[in-house]
Amino acid sequence: MKKKLWVLAAALLACLVVLCACDTKGNPLPQGMEESAVLDQGRSVMELLNQGDWQAVYDQMRSDAKETTSPEGIESYMNSAVEKAGTFEKEEEGMATGQKLDSGEEYATAVFYCKHSEKDVVYRIAFDTDMVLIGLEIKTK
């Protein structure tokens, strides 16, 4: 019996160490960017995506991002990303994190964990330091 308790205690300790090591915060945002502004702008884009306003999302994109997509491309991407997830229900958690491109350009990403009717979805919506939309990633969990 003591051996079983020892194994259980060791397993619980290992789980605790792993959980403590996991930090849900991301990298710091680029200097001058505020988390609340990144999250608010990200939510705005996420709402447009879920309303199907592809043109409005496209219009918010930086010119170099526009060169690689179109409103129809955004529609196709969104439809394929959430086709098995069902309809958007609610945001469950959100955070903003800083990132850096290979070129050295810093940017911020608003990350939202959302409940859809069939599956959960993660939205990653990236903005340059001027708060212009530079990219999207939508995946089911």
* Spans of all domains in the chain: 27-140
Looking at 1.20.1730.10, 3.10.450.590, 3.40.50.1110, 3.40.50.10490, the CATH number of the domain 27-140 comes to 3.10.450.590
Of 62, 81, 85, the C-alpha closest to 73 is 81
pLDDT category, 6, cuts 50, 70, 90?
very low
Predicted confidence (pLDDT) per residue in 73-92, tens digit: 999 999 999 989 999 999 99
Of 134, 138, 131, the C-alpha closest to 30 is 131
Predicted confidence (pLDDT) per residue in 80-128, tens digit: 999 899 999 999 999 999 999 999 999 999 999 999 999 999 999 999 9
Q: Residues 37, 127: contact at Cβ < 8 Å?
A: no
Residue with tokens 């051996």: 3
